[in-house]
Structure 1
Amino acid sequence: MPRLIVIIGPTAVGKTQISLNIAEMFRCPIINADSRQIYRDIPIGTAAPTAEEQKRVTHFFVGKLPLDEYYSAAQYEADVMKLLPRLFQTHDNLVLTGGSMLYIDAVCKGLDDVPTVDQETRLLLKQKLQEEGLEKLVQELRLLDPAYYDACDKNNPKRVVHALEICYMTGKPFSSFHRNERKKRPFDIVKVGLQRQREDLFNRINGRVDVMMQQGWLDEARKVIQYRHCNALNTVGYKELFKYLDNEWEINFALEKIRRNTRVYAKKQMTWFKRDPEVRWFHPDEEQQILNFLDNAK
């Protein structure tokens, strides 16, 4: 049976280099599972694979979508599951790598069949959030879907708004679409997790912000600020740089916020990934052990 090798871990841990080496070892392409690297025009701020790295190994789902195009984990699942059979015709192994937890689960486990939200409903809820505020929407969610209200992060506007979008559009509670049934996949899955000591990881995060600024991240943010309302840019890094470009923050304050918020996100990623008992964990420096593990896990 063909095999999908999944390389996961927090931001800045070192997934890119390990994934490139593994893909070269098995002479196979890499499928990106980072929800922001899918978009064009923001390669620096998303630490997307460089042109040189993409010449080394063929990549899919990197720099393909315009910033104003809506894209969801459900769409990603459908697109990847359509692509994999074609790639498996010529490859026994494929590499999937990224830090977007929901995208990884979408491919490995499958998502519940939640309807895609239409543009009219999306705009309506966006307007309600702006005019009425999050707390009002949270209370509305409590009435329409008390089960999801009890379980969800009520401080996360994206989660609250999406649940209400489904309630409005279907007339059914958002929670009614959640069956949590794992979908069967026609391929084997082996998961490799990369981890570092917290201090080491945080130092890498802090240093990477400096490198990205040297690469021209601020100019990149300036070029895309007109798309700040798009979900593609509702992410750590751009939100803080936009504050600087709006003259609300000093640049050093914005950069320190980016470092802090990225560290918080990395901890969230590790908490999510550590729940998965199928992951075999390694330090990125243990590359030979990783290759041996994959070779023996055939």
Structure 2
Amino acid sequence: MKPAPFTYHAPADLDQTLALLAEHGPEAKVLAGGQSLVPVLNMRLANPAHLIDINHVPGLDTVVANDDAVHVGALVRHAHLLSHSAARTAQPLLRQALQWVAHPVIRNRGTTLGSIVHADPSGEMPAVLALTDGRVRLRSAGGEREVPAAEFFVGPMESAIADDELAVEAIFGRFPAGTRTGFTETARRHGDYALAGVALAVSVQDGPGGGTVGQAQASFVSVTDVPDVLDLTPVVGGAAVADLAGLADAVAEAVATHVDPVGDIHASADYRRHLAVVQTQRLLSTLVGATAEEEIA
């Protein structure tokens, strides 16, 4: 399989990139890591007349962790972010999810922001952006804007990026101190697309018998059209940790109602829904039973 013919551009800076997008936007695709784009091109599911390679654009490969968020540039590879100690400390969910992304070879080249822009509901990082109340910074020749995750994903494989815009940065929010996070998924083989997956953030307030559950939110992989957030706080918030097992049915009902999986040759919709329910129940139990210092892989 080979892509349809296109004109290749390798801009040397951001201004050149934005000028090219302003000129060719509707007929152009941006190449960063290419781990999602190149297969699509090879199968001719996309046939851009222009390919804009941003790998020579300086300033897009930085990771910055501050008091409020982790900022990830457009050329930051999954592997770089996975091993970035400051990002891991500031937002442990990044590492917890990134280790499930495909295989090491793909993580060495693929970019985290590229995965988000691809907007595949089977991708791990869109779910993480949603759960962290993240946003994407977009630039065009006419200016800049930031789009929150809730507005960025508008459909399967479809985002809010305009034709003349470049996604330059993903911004992952930080959780309040003491929040425990975890990520898990189920695939036919490790590294394959997940049949279902869940990212979870929960707070536990100290007290007798293990304390009480505070807030709890979840986002999902492969079982919703777009990554969104299920607030489980009305279900488990205020419950004693020791009594959490008694709320398993209520958690199951909330998850089963929220997700809307589609069956395919790999798994039926009912099985994917079942996986999402069980994954959420188990991960929630694990997180509330952990100490604040323990990391949930």
Give the TM-score, by structure 1 length: 0.22
Q: Which protein is richer in strand relative to its size?
A: 2
Q: Which protein is richer in helix relative to its size?
A: 1
Query: Higher RCO, 1 or 2 (CA under 8 Å, sep at least 6)?
Result: 1
